[in-house]
Amino acid sequence: MMIEEISPLKGRRLLVAACGSIAAVKTPILVSNLIKAGAEVRCVVTPSASRLVSPVSLATLSRNRCYQDEDQWSSKEARPLHIALAEWAEIVVIAPLSASSLSRWSQGLADGLLASLLVACECPVIASPAMNTGMWANKAVQKNWAAIKDNPKVMALSPSSGLLACDRLGDGRMVDPEFIQLSIAHCLVNKSKDEVLKSDWRGKRLLVTSGPTIEALDPARQMTNRSSGLMGVMLAQAAKCRGAEVDLIHGPLQLPHSWLEGLKTHPVKSSIEMQTTLTKLQPSADAIAMAAAVTDLRKKGGPISKKISKEALLASISQEFEVVPDLLAEIASGRPKDQAILGFAALTGNDIELEQLGRKKMQSKGCDLLMANPIDRIGQGFEENANGGILLGPEGMVKPMLVTSKLALAHQLLDALIGLKPNFSKKN
């Protein structure tokens, strides 16, 4: 099976701008992470930001000049700097975005390098505000923010809640650099040829399961599997990026907690907990993606209350275990009309075997699409950043999915899911 480039940021041109917020001290972390991911980065700082974060530090970390207002009309520049930078960048990232810069941007003012650059910019912009809770709640700020969010070329990362530098506890905290980096990758994958960010999931609700489940045996032992939860989380964030409301039911994840930013999360441990939550949330979903790796066996009657010996454990395994119900088949059999379901099947074998086994599973489970996912190939599947396989669909559809980043694969699967008939893509 062919392999695509699995680093969405490698070689991409990113302009990172910092405004006058104390959160600017996090901007060097973002720049450093982007460089490590293979991106080409240039930085811009406003006059206020230059008092909080050193332009020299950003220049050193980015391996490029850090531009300031005094550079805008320099005789050393052959072209207007704000135009040159706006045309160079594939993505502009403003982290942090201050209330002042937000106001200038929303009103089309061009009284500084960053302000001029944003007026001239024709590529997608990722905006991550940071400010005091009272400032963020101000009606004028919210009006400006609403205007920016309406721009189809803007990915608006609303601030999260937490302890702020002013000792207030509330909304206003810039999202973590790790999540901003993830958002950049989604933006690069999701933008169209005319630089607009796809919003084809707007008005839809997607329910995603992710990660492993855990079945306790006794107070010391448990059964689980190797799933990190990455594929399901990428599906959830990709759908959110494209405008969906997303519920994520997940087992224990091996991922940065910041990657769950903006999702409605429902943490569970056992298959029973996942089944209960699925049943509760299914009626409100337009589509379901069952990416969780549910443990196959569990102890009849629940775990033993006291730790038992190895010998007793062996006897228990052979005599007192039962197969966990097939959650995908149960969800598919009881779904509302027009609800689309994507299933995953962890399989082994060559491509021919993969297709045959996948088709049988798809028919037995009753889902609309099934991602036949090989787990016996190096560099993909469980605990890897890449994935691939064969996507099976209605009317004998067979689509090879090249091995690529799980983030890029998530968008391809969402394309297939929203294209299902009858009328899923036309609902709401």
Active site residues: 166
Structure tokens at 362: 């798809």
H runs (alpha helix) in 97-173: 99-107, 113-120, 133-137, 139-149
Structure tokens at 419: 């294209």
Side chain identity, residue 9: L
Structure tokens at 255: 């991922």
Angle at 423 between CA 421 and CA 424, to 5 degrees: 80
CB 375 within 8 A of CB 382: yes
Our measurement of the distance from residue 319's CA atom to the centroid of its chain's CA atoms, rounded to an integer in Å, reads 42
Give residues with Cβ within 8 angstroms of 17, minimum separation 6: 43, 44, 45, 46, 92, 93, 94, 95, 114, 117
CB 186 within 8 A of CB 197: no
**Residue (of 156, 41, 141, 43) closest to 98 by Cα position:** 141
Q: What does the alpha-carbon distance between residue 234 and residue 238 come to, in Å, rounded to a whole number?
A: 6
